[in-house]
Structure 1
């Protein structure tokens, strides 16, 4: 009997632990289902580690979405191709993108609306060690870009403007952070960068060969799936989303980009030195892209 009693205690303990584990698993499944339901009902928007997304980072961190009573979930991606995949697979209702990638998706049957044109601009920056100070010196060199994107279009525009004798090699590098690192590590000769990556590249004295602002080109947008906006609830969410976006733009224009340097560091992965060197930027209220910019992308694809 003395031997049986400890055995019974052990069996009871094991049984109890098993029930506890199963209970935890059941609760965990319930929590996951609840979170999935909340995420499904929320307006999901793809963002990247770029400065054109700053109004959304502010709206999230300053609880502007919560104040307006709209549930918005920001989905963080490091490349435009990942954003596109999320749009195609309907994992997000909208995403930051450029008109060239967006128009290509539309030609492939993904219906999109462009409620917000961003202030994004791109600079062609060369590796200072390669001693490239003019676009014509890019012949027989490597330029990093993303296929079917604004960087692809701008690379063609730059090359065609000088008609080089030898080929310029386009190297697809989708991750914007990896692309910048390749320039800083002298693994790539040149590339188009937007902010804040362009500022960091300039800090290391890499020459700027071309700037889209000099050509009055504005290709950055937030694109939303048209089908998802047929729902009345989604339409209301988007309206409040845009209102929060505009409120964040007001805050940036009043306080300056550097005032939100902690968010630029958090979401864009840059250091204090780069934040302090960021140019003064104006963030306009949400509006559709200009017809002239849209036409560039429509004619491309």
Structure 2
């Protein structure tokens, strides 16, 4: 009888161990499913995503978020197309180009990135009118060129009178402006602040002109398979926005500096935009981008605003 009890006991332990292993494996698979991998670059519009992680807002909503930082959009796009990313911070022009390349990526929200048009300290440019015949550094066929075109249009400047200079690498663009090799440049943070500290002249910015082309986007595959996780991601994102907008920057400035890449001497001088809780871009704005892409000869498809968006993040 004692031997029989021992056999039963061993069998019970073995069964329990097997059940535990199955439970653990199941849990690991569930955790994998709830992970969203998002690609960003060091930029001002990525700040709420990092704050949400730092404050455990993702954890609160039951979603794991892996934020991967890329040095350039080319590497980010390659990772997205390879399927190693579920989503990205990008822009409306990029999503339009994805769709034209039969890569189904949808805009799921707006972000608050900004591009500032800055004239060099020695360029003698003081206003938009002074840009005629001058060189302005951008990256071609991107939201940078789109933003420059719209800024010029809004200020009644004939686009053809400005010499667009293709300088894709933003650090190089900044250095060329600093050294006087170009007259003006369109720059994001932290390079726009650095350029202004060098004596550059601010002519305008995307945000000042209500040009909001920066967005967050997910692949249709992720939207189909991880809709709950995406919804919870944006709940956490909105909590981060509320926190940032209601809290002195001194309490989270280190995260901002690390995220954007500000030099440490900028501590105490950083000014953030008023971030918006997640919404979709206006159809009118998207239609303007679609037309711009078509006018540039970059479109193979006849797209509508509804082709570029998904409401999964705002329901």
Q: Alignment partner of 2:126: what SS? A: coil
Question: 1:141/1:237 Cα in 2 relative to 1: closer, same or farther (>3 Å)?
Answer: same
2:167 aligned residue (166, 172, 182): 172
In 1, distance between residues paired with 2:71 and 2:249?
Answer: 21
Unaligned runs of 5+ in 1: 1-34
Are 1:199 and 2:161 counterparts? no
Alignment-derived partner of residue 263 in structure 1 = 255
In 1, distance between residues paired with 2:242 and 2:151?
Answer: 35
1:53 aligned residue (46, 53, 66): 46
- The answer on whether the counterparts of 1:124 and 1:193 sit within 8 Å (CA) in structure 2 is yes
Task: Report the alpha carbon displacement of residue 297 of structure 1 after superposing the two structures with TM.
Answer: 1.1
Task: Report the alpha carbon displacement of residue 275 of structure 1 after superposing the two structures with TM.
Answer: 4.2
After TM superposition, the score normalised by the length of structure 2 is 0.74
Alignment-derived partner of residue 157 in structure 2 = 162
- The answer on whether the counterparts of 1:264 and 1:275 sit within 8 Å (CA) in structure 2 is no
After TM superposition, the score normalised by the length of structure 1 is 0.77
Alignment-derived partner of residue 88 in structure 2 = 95
Give the aligned CA root-mean-square deviation in angstroms.
2.7
Are 1:126 and 2:123 counterparts? no
Are 1:225 and 2:193 counterparts? no
Alignment-derived partner of residue 135 in structure 2 = 142
Unaligned runs of 5+ in 2: 1-27, 294-315
In 1, distance between residues paired with 2:285 and 2:93?
Answer: 10
In 2, distance between residues paired with 1:177 and 1:261?
Answer: 23
Alignment-derived partner of residue 254 in structure 1 = 246
- The answer on whether the counterparts of 1:117 and 1:289 sit within 8 Å (CA) in structure 2 is yes
In 2, distance between residues paired with 1:103 and 1:49?
Answer: 22
Alignment-derived partner of residue 29 in structure 1 = none
Larger helix percent: 1
Are 1:189 and 2:152 counterparts? no
Task: Report the alpha carbon displacement of residue 44 of structure 1 after superposing the two structures with TM.
Answer: 0.7
- The answer on whether the counterparts of 2:149 and 2:159 sit within 8 Å (CA) in structure 1 is no
Aligned length: 264
Alignment-derived partner of residue 213 in structure 1 = 207
Task: Report the alpha carbon displacement of residue 158 of structure 1 after superposing the two structures with TM.
Answer: 4.6
